[in-house]
Structure 1
């Protein structure tokens, strides 16, 4: 490792059995996750009350980021591991791969960290969001700052920042990275501020939220208690998936930075690459549990109709026939009296 630059280009992930197995699994989960994202977003747009709910805004942002990661970044990674070269072999395409990969992953982690912090205010200081000014100041403005920062920093470090080791190789993952990881200062900034810090903040905020809820549960009303418990369960489920994915990722890179472990192992590098997509694949399914009860029941009913159409129709027809047979009454035959005739006739 150089005092000025990190030789990330020396660690080349190759196509192994482990990567091919993950590719087969991720391909099917990629399709199902993307369809799940589209279905949830479509129902959220139809249900205006879901869009107006503040806790759902960050969930929708995570869904949008996950859909981009699943459809663009993961597809490029699968193509690389399948063919041993990047899809489009140009300079601007290599820059686009790096900007898309690092900006979406950074945005994912910062949104999750802000969501973990905001849950404390929504549960215990919800009166702060009553006015429009406070909602813009405490909710919308931080989300906008996070989005602008994530893309601006990635565009600057992956496109405009130059270094002597920058040379795109089309047979390497993300064309061999850009100066955002090749430069020592930029790499240290990425590891500590954009990777390690939001992951640790998410862990601490998620750990303190249920503890704080147990101590202050008596101060909450019954309606507030149910609402707070629901948001805490939502937070624990979503943050748990992010912590299990990004915390080992951050620890491995920190140990590699101080030369305690080496990244020359193909399995380690492949794990670090594919581990960043786990949260994006799981987020749509986790969000099915975190949306409103009304929307969740509507989704479940529609899924049952799509999956069990013939079965329901058969039962319905048999039930209708049985009901008709039970209600049908047997009328006695209409016997008309015979006319008596005289013997002389």
Structure 2
């Protein structure tokens, strides 16, 4: 997407490019660390500073990825149905580029203070992959703010905006063919809806379980066990995101085929003319 000028300059691809960078950073740090931990959990002595960096990246990248994609589902409504809102340079700066800068800056500052400069002492937890617990989360108000504003709200934003986008696109396609050009905006809709399916399948159960446990107050053993499973499956979002991005964009599929040399075999049809090229020595060589 970076090396293709058309894909790089398309506004709807900017947030996807940022999300892919987040995936790349997580794939180079968090997931190798987790694999190594589960293989060497009894022999891996980790320092507190390493655990703090791990916790900062684990929570920060995960939440940033979710919040940015939640914004992507909101922005799709603007790009498809209200493109006049971003017709000027100033409006694009406010509605398009500012969120891409604000969310990383806000979350980096928030989690940097929580993990590296808390007013209390963080806990060490060697038995856990993320081997520390921020002491600030002992505060019920801060813990609820983090979960609701930075996880629950983005999750349900993805659900609402994705469903409403699908309904609006289908409704406009049927009722107002001249107002919205389906072929022009189909790729943008398919792209975000395809990725939304991954979030709905892997992240929505986690959000529902959290509401049932900590907001409603249910504490059934089966619910607690299912909560652990939903936390585990939520890690697959970043792993699957690049593949869904490739599948949802035909341009990327073509580039990947060319990159991997997956081109269809060329068959010689009967009756084709065989060219004859004269060799410099004077002999004929058939090619």
What is the TM-score normalised by the length of structure 2?
0.84
Look up the match of 1:168: 124
Matches within 5 A, 1:183-332: 183-217=139-173, 218-221=175-178, 224-258=181-215, 259-261=217-219, 268=226, 270-291=228-249, 293-303=250-260, 305=261, 312=265, 319=268
Corresponding residue number in structure 2 for 1:109? 66
Q: Judging changes above 3 Å, is the alpha-carbon distance between structure 1 residues 103 and 262 closer, same or farther for their aligned structure 2 residues?
A: farther
Cα distance change on mapping 1:85 and 1:105 into 2, 3 Å: farther
Task: Indicate the larger mover: 103-112 or 211-220.
Answer: 211-220
C-alpha change, 1:279 and 1:109, in structure 2 (3 Å) is same
Structure 2 stretches of 5 or more lacking a match?
A: 277-287
Change (3 A) 1:263 1:117: farther
Where 1:173 maps in the other structure, the secondary structure is coil
User: Does residue 71 of structure 1 match 2:28?
Assistant: yes
Contact 1:180 1:190 in 2 (8 A): no
Change (3 A) 1:256 1:162: farther
Alignment: residue pair count: 274
Q: Which runs of 5+ in 1 are unaligned?
A: 1-43, 328-345
Distance 1:320 1:210 in 2: 45
Q: Deviations over 1:187-245 (max 9, x none)?
A: 11122111100001110111111212233334354882212222222121111111211
Structure number, greater radius of gyration: 1
What RMSD in Å do the two structures reach over aligned CA positions?
Answer: 2.9
Contact 1:256 1:263 in 2 (8 A): no
Q: Which residue in the other structure is 2:55 paired with?
A: 98
SS of aligned partner of 2:131: helix
The structure richer in helix per residue is 1
Instruction: Report the Cα distance in structure 2 between the residues aligned to 1:132 and 1:87, rounded to whole angstroms.
Output: 52
Match of 2:285 in 1: none
TM-aligned CA distance change 1:267 to 1:52, over 3 Å? same
Measured in 2, the distance between the counterparts of 1:68 and 1:263 equals 35
Instruction: Tell me, in whole angstroms, the C-alpha distance in 2 between the residues paired with 1:324 and 1:261.
Output: 78
Does the aligned pair in 1 maintain the 2:48–2:124 contact within 8 Å?
A: yes
Structure with more contact order per residue of length (Cα contacts < 8 Å, sep ≥ 6): 1
SS at match of 1:216: helix
> Secondary structure of the residue that 2:124 maps to in structure 1?
coil
CA deviation profile, 1:236-289 (whole Å, cap 9, x unmatched): 111111121111111222223244126799954652442222111111111113
Q: Can you list the C-alpha shifts for 1:34-83, whole angstroms capped at 9, x where unaligned?
A: xxxxxxxxxx2221121110010111111111112222112222222222
Normalising by structure 1, report the TM-score. Answer: 0.71
**Aligned pair partner of 1:82 in 39, 57, 67:** 39
Quote how far apart the aligned CAs of 1:92 are: 1.2
2:103 pairs with 1:146: yes
Compared CA separation, residues 325 and 208, structure 1 to 2 (3 A): closer
d(CA) in 1 for partners of 2:78, 2:213? 37
